Amino acid sequence: MTKDDNNEKNKRESLFLNEHFMAVECGIIAAAGLVSLLFFRDGMDTFGIFALLSKVLTAAAMYFAFKFYKWDMAKGLMGAALFSMMFDEFYQVFVTLWGNENFDQYITVGIPGSLFLSAACMSFLMTVIITINHFILNYANEGNPKNLILNRIAILFKLGAYALFLGASGSIDFTPATRWANVLRCLMGIVIIILIISIESQYDSFKVLRQELLGKTLKKERQMTKKGRVLGIWLISMNLLSLFTYVIYIVSRMFGGILRPWYLQVILALQCLVLIFYMLGSDHLKSGPFKLLYRVLLASSLLVIPVFLFVYLGLYSQYHAPIPDAIDASAMPVEEILPKDHTVTYKTDSLYIIFPEYSSIELVLKDAPSKSDESITWCSGAAAHHVTTLGFSDDNIEGDHAVKGTFYDSPHDWDNFTAFTFANGKYAFDFDDPVKAVKDAAAAGGSGFMHFGLFRDGEVLMRFARPRGRCYRTLAELNGHLCIIDSVNMVHFNDFVDEVQKLGVENALYMDMGSGWNYSWLRDASGKVLELFGLPVPWSHNWIIFRK
């Protein structure tokens, strides 16, 4: 067969695209790389520039090897192009995004931030899978030709991750330069992937593998069955879902005794391992122990979905529900932010200031207050728990506390605890002798609990050693009246403190917040209950309530 006949045959057998379009693809890659270097170089360090140049050069070399040399060199450079993408995405995920300096800004953004981080991780994971598959297909002793279809499935997932990355990027308040740099990064990745598909299509990889790997006619049983395709899609999906679960777990700050980070790391590792077994070819497993291990790993994929649902609900519970009837106080003088004869909420740019209608304030233990009790106008978590447990114990509550005249002595008191009490129709903050204050409230038939003091006479008492992206709450005294102050969105703790201080609060107590602990609701002036954080958890066991 002549060279012209062979070229004509390749064009006729191509899945799509042609050599002219491939040249355009290389031009787009080179142009995107050049624009990134010229206009967005300030945001890159030496490794970032190296990664960018590696992608451009290896993609161009892959095309010219296909054009002027032979398949062996082209498929080798195809692996080099994939390695260049892996390096760039690894550097972006584990250095740029997950670095100590940059990661926290995505936490404060919340759901868009978690999607942005997850999409970047998903793209990297798919590149790893595609690269491993490339070498299994082309260089393994027996190969696994059915992985050609699996590779295309992985490529589709990778393109989906790019779309998610760009969509989430548009929802985050990036600078124009950062946003354009992200667009160009995704554009280069998409075009490199399409170029790889184009080169494989021009060569008709099924026939190449038949000649180079098997040396004989491809048997029907070696082709991927419908069941095999579904299983491949399932395994890739569980890999992505387990990775996404781990990322949103970190974003939602669900650190506690129920679910720990290493649980999710193990689940992710198991899913990656079973997928590698699958790509190598589960039918190649000869010994019984390896077959049993493969089945156990495959069964572990069933754990991913319930863990994802649990963690996603935890993430969802981190976001403050909007209060539609809140009074806009962004331009209001602070001295005018006052209670009314009904429950009222004010909203600044970053804070909700809530004045519940009340005649008494109580601490409730063990069983959560019911929304059907129409006398309750506010309910939220109160004291911290020493350990996270499903069962209730008075001794597990940190700080001495009192419930309608009964005093409970806690074994877990902190030196910087402050007492909040309500007795004889009056509330009080006690910073000097909180134990005595709670005992006195109990003796008077009242209630009280302890937590960290946040403000005393307008002075800040509490700072976290590091910023933590989260919605925060404080029980505060503003303009001589008791109120609850929530952050509107996720913020760093120190930013929250600064905003509360600008209001001019006199005294304030930190309210334990986090996934589940932030569960709260209020009853508005019309009597309607509004859930502010909608995920009660079974290990939360004490609440503060306001009664009208």
Q: In 3D, which of 235, 342, 341, 214 has the Cα closest to residue 279?
A: 235
pLDDT in tens, 155-168: 888 999 999 998 88
**Separation CA 359–CA 353 (nearest Å):** 19
Confidence category of residue 143, pLDDT binned at 50, 70, 90: low
pLDDT at 525: 86
Higher pLDDT, 484 or 277: 484
CA of 524: how far to CAs of 330, 401, 487, 546, in Å?
21, 28, 19, 12
- Whether residues 287 and 386 share a domain: the answer is no
Categorize the per-residue pLDDT at 307 as very low, low, confident or very high, splitting at 50, 70 and 90.
confident
Q: Are residues 187 and 242 in the same domain?
A: no
What is the C-alpha to C-alpha distance for residues 186 and 78, in angstroms, rounded to an integer?
Answer: 18
Residue 370 and residue 285 share a domain = no
Q: What kind and span of H or E run contains 277? A: helix 261-280
In a domain, 116, yes or no: yes
pLDDT at 90: 87
Q: What is the DSSP letter of 223?
A: S
In a domain, 385, yes or no: yes
Range with the lowest mean pLDDT among 67-76, 280-289, 447-456? Answer: 280-289
Among the candidates 224, 240, 271, a domain finishes at 224
Give the residue numbers spanning the domain of 498. Answer: 327-547
219 pLDDT higher than 60: no
pLDDT given at position 13 = 45
The reported pLDDT for the residue numbered 210 is 46
Beta-sheet strand order (sheet of 542-547):
360-365, 542-547, 376-381, 520-523, 529-533
pLDDT at 315: 74
In a domain, 264, yes or no: yes
* Inside any domain, residue 396: yes
Q: What contacts 507, CB < 8 A, 6 or more positions away?
A: 429, 431, 453, 455, 456, 457, 476, 477
Q: Which residue has the higher pLDDT, 382 or 137?
A: 382
Residues 54 and 163 in one domain: yes
- The letter for the amino acid at 275 is L
Amino acid sitting at position 306: P
φ, ψ at 154 (rounded to 5°): -60, -40
Q: Are residues 237 and 353 in the same domain?
A: no
**What per-residue confidence (pLDDT) applies to 256?**
53
pLDDT value, residue 522: 92
pLDDT for position 18: 66
In this structure, the answer to whether residues 405 and 520 fall within a common structural domain is yes
* Statement: residue 26 has pLDDT above 90: no
Q: What is the pLDDT of residues 186-197, one digit of tens each?
A: 898 888 888 887
Which of 189, 224, 259 finishes a domain? 224
The whole-angstrom separation of Cα 396 and Cα 390 is: 11
Say if residue 273 is in the same domain as residue 156: no
**Is there a domain that residue 373 lies in?**
yes
Do 218 and 229 fall into the same domain?
no
Q: Are residues 260 and 334 in the same domain?
A: no
What total of structural domains would you count in the chain? Answer: 3
Specify the DSSP element, H or E, that contains 245: helix 226-252
Is pLDDT at 221 greater than 50 in this prediction?
Answer: no
Structure tokens at 532: 């502010």
Same domain, 371 and 516: yes
Provide mean pLDDT across the span 99-113.
Answer: 69
Based on the domain organization, do 278 and 250 belong to the same domain? yes
More confident residue, 284 or 165: 165
Domain boundary among 224, 258, 277: 224
Q: Classify residue 101: in a domain, yes or no.
A: yes
Q: Are residues 367 and 220 in the same domain?
A: no
424, part of any domain: yes
pLDDT tens-digit profile of 48-71? 788 888 888 888 888 888 777 776
Name the 3-class secondary structure at 315: helix
Alpha-carbon distance of 97 to 119, in angstroms, equals 11
Q: Is 370 exposed, middle or buried (0-12, 13-18, 19+ CB in 10 A)?
A: exposed
**Residue 458: which region, alpha, beta or left (left: phi > 0; alpha: psi -120 to 50)?**
left
Domain assignment of residue 262, yes or no: yes
